[in-house]
A and B are shown apart, each in its own frame.
Chain A
Amino acid sequence: MKTMPVVFAGHVDHGKSTLVARTLLDTGYFPDGKLAELEAAAQRRGVPLEISFLLDAFQIERDQAITIDATRIWFQSATRRYEIIDAPGHREFVRHMVSGASDAVAAVLVVDAGEGIGEQTRRHALLLPLVGVTRAIVAVNKMDAVNFDATRFRAIEDELRALFAQAGLTLVIAVPTVARDGDNVVHRSSRMPWYDGPAILEALDALDDRPEATMPLRFPVQDVYRRNEERILLGTVSGGRIEQGMTLLFSPSRETARVTQIVRFPASGTAAVAGEAVGLTLDRAIFVDPGDVASEIVDVPLVSTAFEATIFWLDAAPLRAGEHLRMRCGTRDTTVVPEAIHSRIDVATFHRNASEVIERNDIGDIALRSVQPAVLDVAFPALGRFALYRADAICGGGIVRSAEKQEERARRRSPNVSSNEHATHASDRMRRSGHRGLVVWLTGLPSSGKTTLATQLERALFADGWHAYVLDGDTLRTGLNGDLGFSLADRSENVRRTGEVAALFADAGTIAIVSLVSPQRADRERARAAAPDRFHEVFIKADIATCETRDVKGLYRRARAGEIPDFTGIGSPYEEPAAAELVIDTAAETVSVSFAGLLAYVREAGRL
């Protein structure tokens, strides 16, 4: 018997937990002894028994008669099993509501007949469709407090119907209830003869199971597992069906390979369908990383670096344009930058108002740019929903509204240039060299230790049999960049050219180790854009006092004497990386510790 997860939501104190508890009581699912335990607890506290104490598990919740976090409870009706998700209604607890509701296929929204639609009722109506819940049954609760007035009930129902339509939520039915006494919860009430519709549980039982739309094949690769000589791609089929012998296309690389085996334990099989977690082996050694997505050759996901999204924001510090965040979509992590905040939705009116920021608990529309290519779907949930992370903590989530294909964006930005397709594929070069091509970009203050580490890294990789080459700022200035001076514009151009050269080295299969102060974030981002999949920013971190004591080339002394204007760290600022792949603190660590960290990182990043 399959289980239907249903979220119970609504404004604080409108009676959600009570409705859930009453449902359990009247279906005989109150565990033996629990009611007596709660009666005793209420008596000790000198308060009337609240049925909702059953679900409010924490002492503080019972003491203050509030729900802090979403809970789950299971019960069975005559026709199916339910998982009830009881979500708190307080404004500051929206994240718990989102955490609970994202598992649900339908909602029961509780509205107090006396108080009417609350701020949270509106917020939930907006949030539910965003997390994927599009159908709601409404309980107009505490009808006893309005003398079971049919007119009051109809007025609330009408108002909700209009509200839901605006939010994109279907109102399945509105039911007048008194949850505390059990009216129209499991059993029909005799106290409201004017209502002849179903009780809440009957309405739930009448809901269809979520109709499964036909979805194209998507297999987001979660991990790559090595067993003996085999490389096994682990993942969960999120749509469609995979069969042995089928040709798969991987995004973003767009390489293809045939499935040789569908690996399972204890016995392997020949096919896998949506919902199953399996392993795959391929007929040829193409390079697939965790986060890549397999599909059929037609009906492929979008590879994009620019897309529009509607998000909910959960962090105390508001979202502004230009900040670096991590995005997880499917199993893929990328760095994203909100390029523009378009609007935020006013909960009172449901209008989209222009805004510079998105505050905690807001819903809004934004444009996102992804630093590395993202693999997206607009219509299918597995690759159409994402989470945003700020400093490793989830700060929001959302859905993709539209996306621009990467090729289209490139064409729009440089209409007269088309990149020359090499006949030799990047993966052939990698197979030949035995490792990936990378740009390892060491940035940091003068004398922070970049050149020392770059040189040692080159030597160690070379000893491993890898192709590695240091592109040093000083060396490049003697040739390629000999025409450039030290004005801000020239320094920026110096970084740009170095980035382009490094990208070509990496494309040719070499580990290009760049050692360059590169003080401006925007310049480094441009270098990253030149080699989006292969760029690894390494921040060589040391405070200015430490660097000044080292002063390898005597530059700090000269800068202090006024001989070098605009010297980074003294006359001109150094912008620290916001989202470097690796940070090496050379002020706190010895050279050998710093170097060991760098080498281990590069070996892992370059490994096939």
Chain B
Amino acid sequence: MSSSVTDLDLLEARTVFVLREAFRRVKPLGMLWSIGKDSTALLWMARKAFLGRIPFPVSLLDTGMEFPEVYAFRDELIAAWDLDYRNERCPPESSVDQTLAPGGRAAARKTEGLKALIGREKWRGVILGIRRDEQATRAKDRIFSPRAVDGSWNFRDQPPEFWNYYQTDVPDGAHLRIHPLLHWTELDIWRYTQREAIPFCSLYLARNGKRFRSLGESNITVPIDSNAATIEEVVAELAATSAPERAGRLMDHESEDAFERLRAGGYM
């Protein structure tokens, strides 16, 4: 292997392979874009994979509760990258289980929104920008991960996946979650975003000693203490930290198995 090929090149090539594999073998196909750093980097790689134009629709599961900066950034990129964007308005908070904590209610709305989106678009595959190092149950997920007709995840009986070979078929009505970023870490994403000069939402950079490390709904996401006001400083900060990325995402911490239950029920 040439010494000019870096670790970021190899991570990118693997993601591109998965995206092309998904497009070739899974139809109809769509992608979720949370407007965050991961799915934006993934969109960039999808442009690389398909040589400029992404050949499938991208959707935000919109709770109406994103930060205003997030919506503004979204609109900019839709225009700049000529995206086939379809906004998916999630069902209102009053329609979900009111005994859930606030984070659980937001997750339930997005889970229902995703079900409605997949049902209406008849997607057999949906591409998501989750990573193994974000959260322990995501660490055990597959790149091509089947979900049952009701959207649930049978984590006890996952299909084998080895070398570059994936299980790319699901029964009618079921769908695949396709995870082309599973092998990336948070630090990799930032180093790559820096190298490729990919645009990202300004909330990730520190203002007045605070910045967002992970972006969720404005009522259930809190910023971290940070002075990283440039992407170089964000990379340096992450290389030194051992605090978990999703610490500011309240939905994960409402009980010990909070996230596992969200995901088994169809959350991303």
Contacts and interface: CB of A to CB of B under 8 A. Distances in A.
Interface of A: 1-3, 28-34, 37, 41, 44, 54-55, 57-60, 68-74, 83, 95-96, 98-99, 102, 131, 212, 222-223, 225, 227, 232, 234, 236, 241, 263-266, 273-277, 279, 290, 314, 328, 381, 385-387, 389, 392-394, 397
Which of B9, B47, B140, B247 has the largest number of chain A CB atoms within 10 A? B140
A264 B244 contact: no
Nearest to B48: A265
Given A222-B24, A223-B20, A275 B1 contact: yes
A33 B10 CA distance: 32
12 contacts: A1-B7, A32-B247, A58-B140, A95-B160, A96-B158, A99-B158, A131-B162, A223-B23, A275-B1, A275-B5, A394-B160, A394-B166
Contacts of B168: 392
B161 to A, nearest CB: 5
Contacts of A212: 1
Contacts of A41: 256
Contacts of B165: 328, 386-387, 394, 397
B137 interface: yes
A385 to B, nearest CB: 5
A232 B132 contact: no
A96 B161 CA distance: 8
Contacts of A234: 20, 49
Contacts of B247: 32-33
Nearest to A29: B242
B155 A31 contact: no
A394 B10 CA distance: 25
B13 A59 contact: no
Interface in B131-174: 132-133, 135-137, 139-140, 142, 155-156, 158-163, 165-169
Given A32-B242, A222-B17, A232 B163 contact: no
Contact of B140 (A37, A69, A227, A274): A69
B244 A57 contact: no
Interface in B106-141: 132-133, 135-137, 139-140
A236 B5 CA distance: 13
A74 B188 CA distance: 12
B52 interface: yes
Given A29-B242, A70-B140, A232-B51, A223 B260 contact: no
A222 B23 CA distance: 10
B248 to A, nearest CB: 12
Interface string B12-37: 11001100110110000000000000
B56 interface: no
Nearest to A73: B139
Contacts of A381: 163
Contacts of B23: 223
A376 to B, nearest CB: 14
A96 B6 CA distance: 29
A274 B242 CA distance: 34
B257 A59 contact: yes
Nearest to A45: B256
Which of B50, B51, B132, B169 has the largest number of chain A CB atoms within 10 A? B51
Task: Give 5 nearest A-B pairs by CB, closest first.
Answer: A57-B136, A387-B165, A392-B169, A102-B162, A277-B16
Contacts of A83: 183
B42 to A, nearest CB: 14
A223 B24 contact: yes
A412 B202 CA distance: 69
Given A99-B162, A393-B159, 10 more contacts: A33-B243, A57-B135, A57-B137, A71-B132, A71-B139, A273-B1, A275-B5, A275-B10, A277-B17, A385-B163
B2 interface: yes
A234 to B, nearest CB: 6
A34 B167 contact: no
B4 interface: yes
B135 to A, nearest CB: 8
Contacts of A290: 24
Contacts of A71: 132, 136, 139-140
B185 interface: yes
Given A99-B161, A223-B24, A275 B9 contact: yes
Interface of B: 1-2, 4-7, 9-10, 12-13, 16-17, 20-21, 23-24, 47-52, 132-133, 135-137, 139-140, 142, 155-156, 158-163, 165-169, 183, 185, 242-244, 247, 256-257, 260
Contacts of A397: 160, 162-163, 165
B169 A58 contact: no
Nearest to A98: B162
Nearest to A389: B167
A58 B167 contact: no
Contacts of A392: 167-169
Contacts of A102: 162-163
Nearest to B165: A387
B159 A394 contact: yes
B160 A99 contact: yes
Contact of B161 (A3, A232, A394): A394
A222 B16 CA distance: 11
B242 A30 contact: yes
B149 to A, nearest CB: 16
A387 B163 contact: yes
B260 A57 contact: yes
Nearest to A381: B163
B13 A276 contact: yes
Nearest to A214: B1
Contacts of A72: 132-133, 139, 183
Contacts of B140: 57-58, 68-71
B56 to A, nearest CB: 14
Nearest to A396: B160
A60 B140 CA distance: 14
Nearest to B243: A32
B242 A28 contact: yes
A31 B20 CA distance: 35
Which of B5, B20, B243 has the largest number of chain A CB atoms within 10 A? B20
Given A72-B139, A99-B162, A60 B156 contact: yes
B243 to A, nearest CB: 5
A223 B13 CA distance: 15
Contacts of B136: 54-55, 57, 71
Contacts of B17: 222, 236, 277
A218 to B, nearest CB: 13
A83 B187 CA distance: 14
B265 to A, nearest CB: 13
A264 B169 contact: no
Contacts of B142: 99
A201 B12 CA distance: 28
Which of B47, B137, B168, B256 has the largest number of chain A CB atoms within 10 A? B256
Nearest to B16: A277
Contacts of B257: 58-59
Contacts of A60: 156
A57 B155 CA distance: 11
Contacts of A1: 7
Contacts of B49: 234, 277
A44 B249 CA distance: 24
A222 B20 contact: yes
Which of A2, A212, A277, A279 has the largest number of chain B CB atoms within 10 A? A277
Contacts of B1: 212, 273-275
A300 B49 CA distance: 27
A265 B133 contact: no
Contact of A279 (B24, B51, B133, B243): B51
Contacts of A264: 48, 51
